[in-house]
Structure 1
Amino acid sequence: MANGLQAITPEFEQIHFAIGISPVGNVLVGESANGICAVYLGKSAKELMVCLQKQFPTAKCVDGGNGIKNTLSKVIEIIHNPQKNTDFNLDLRGTPFQQQVWQALLEIPVGSTVCYSDIAEKLHNPGAVRAIASACGANNIAVIIPCHRVIRKDGAISGYRWGVESKQALLRRERLMLA
C-alpha cells in the first residue's frame, strides 16, 4: 500500500458446534469464544447446519472441540429436566431491545407461560407486542432462553421458530416435571 500500512484481513470467527438427539428432536449447540451463541431445534442435522451457516455467514463452523459436546449434553439435560439449573455463558447477539426481551424471558418460571402483552407490560412498553414477538423469533438460543413459554393472549400456541410441535413438546415436558 502507498502509505506503508499493511491491510489486515480479519480472522474469521470460529463457532464450535455439536448436534445430538433430544426428546424434541435434533439439537444443535454452537459456541463462540464468548459463550453459547446458538441452540437450534429441528428434524434434521442438515437443516440445523444450514441455519447455523446462514445465521453466522462469516464464521468458520467447526464440528466438535472446545468442550462443545459437554455443553450439548447439558442442553439436552435441560430438555429432559427443565428444572435443572445450569449456568451457561451466553453470547447474545441482538439489539438492546431484543436483549431486554430475552432477559425478561429468562424470568418466566419453568412450567409457566405468559403472553406477548405480559412481556410488553413488564418492559413498560405496552405497544410493543409485535416487536416482542419478533424478538422471540430472533432468539438464537432455544430452550436456555425460553421463548417457548410465550403464547398468544387467547392461550393458543403459535409462532415458534423451531416449529409449533417443538414448542408444544417443550411445554408438555415442563408441565409433566411439575406434576
Structure 2
Amino acid sequence: MYFSTYQSPFGNIALTATDKGLAALAFQAGEAAIERDLNWQTDEQKFSQVKQQLDQYFTGSRREFELALDPKGTPFQQRVWQALCQIKMGETASYAELAQAINNPKAVRAVGSANGANPIALIIPCHRVIGTNGKLTGYAGGLALKAKLLMHEGAQFKV
C-alpha cells in the first residue's frame, strides 16, 4: 500500500493506492480521516496522475476523473459505487434514484450504507447524493464540506 497527501482548497486530503490504482481518498478534517500505517510506502509517482487531476478539478478545468481505482467493498457496494460514478458534475441524485439505478428500488437504506462506506470520496462522488427533498444529507467530510463541493460543481440543492 502507498500513501500520500494532497492540499486542496477545502482541506488536506489523504490518499492511498495499491499497484492496481487509487484505494482511498479522504478529507482529513472529516469522519473518514485516514491514519497512516507505518508499513505503507511513499511513492509520489503513484499519485502524480491523481494529484494532477485533483488540481484540474479544483481549478474547474476537469469535470470527470479518469483514474485507475481499487476500492475494497462487497459486490453490492461496488454496484452502488459504479452507479455513483454515473452522476455527472453539477448534478445530484437521491438514495431512491440510486436504488433504481442498480435495479433494486427497495434497497434505499442499503444504498445509503454503501454510499457512506465509499472509500474514495470525491472521485467516486458520494457527495452528489442528497435527500429526495433536495436537502443535504450526511457526508463523512461534514455537511459544510459537502455544500462547498456541490457549489464548486454548480449543483442545485436546498439548505
TM-score (norm 2): 0.86
Identity of aligned residues (%): 35
> 1:121 & 1:92 partners in 2: Cα distance?
22
Question: For 1:44-67, what per-residue CA distance to the aligned partner results, in whole angstroms no more than 9, with x for missing partners?
Answer: 9xx8342x54xxxxx822234433
Residue 33 of structure 2 is aligned to residue 48 of structure 1: yes
Residue 106 of structure 2 is aligned to residue 127 of structure 1: yes
Cα shift at 1:109: 1.3
1:166 to 137, 145, 157: 145
Equivalences, count: 154
Counterpart in the other structure of 1:19: 5
Cα shift at 1:92: 2.0
> 1:49 & 1:114 partners in 2: Cα distance?
27
Q: Cα distance 1:84–1:155, how it changes in 2: closer, same or farther (>3 A)?
A: closer
What residue ranges of structure 1 are gaps of 5+ in the alignment? 1-14, 54-58
Q: Where is the strand percentage greater, Structure 1 or Structure 2?
A: 1
Counterpart in the other structure of 2:85: 106
Cα shift at 1:82: 6.8
Aligned partner of residue 21 in structure 1, secondary structure: strand
Cα shift at 1:134: 0.6
Question: For 1:16-74, what per-residue CA distance to the aligned partner results, in whole angstroms no more than 9, with x for missing partners?
Answer: 22112112111112111110001111339xx8342x54xxxxx8222344332442232
Counterpart in the other structure of 1:6: none
Q: Aligned-residue CA RMSD in angstroms?
A: 2.2
Larger Rg computed on CA atoms: 1
Aligned partner of residue 60 in structure 1, secondary structure: coil
Aligned residue identity for 1:31: A
> 2:61 & 2:16 partners in 1: Cα distance?
20
Counterpart in the other structure of 1:67: 46
Are the counterparts in 2 of residues 29 and 72 from structure 1 also a CA contact under 8 Å?
no
1:38 to 24, 28, 32: 24
Q: Cα distance 1:175–1:73, how it changes in 2: closer, same or farther (>3 A)?
A: same
Residue 57 of structure 2 is aligned to residue 78 of structure 1: yes
> 2:3 & 2:28 partners in 1: Cα distance?
15
TM-score (norm 1): 0.77
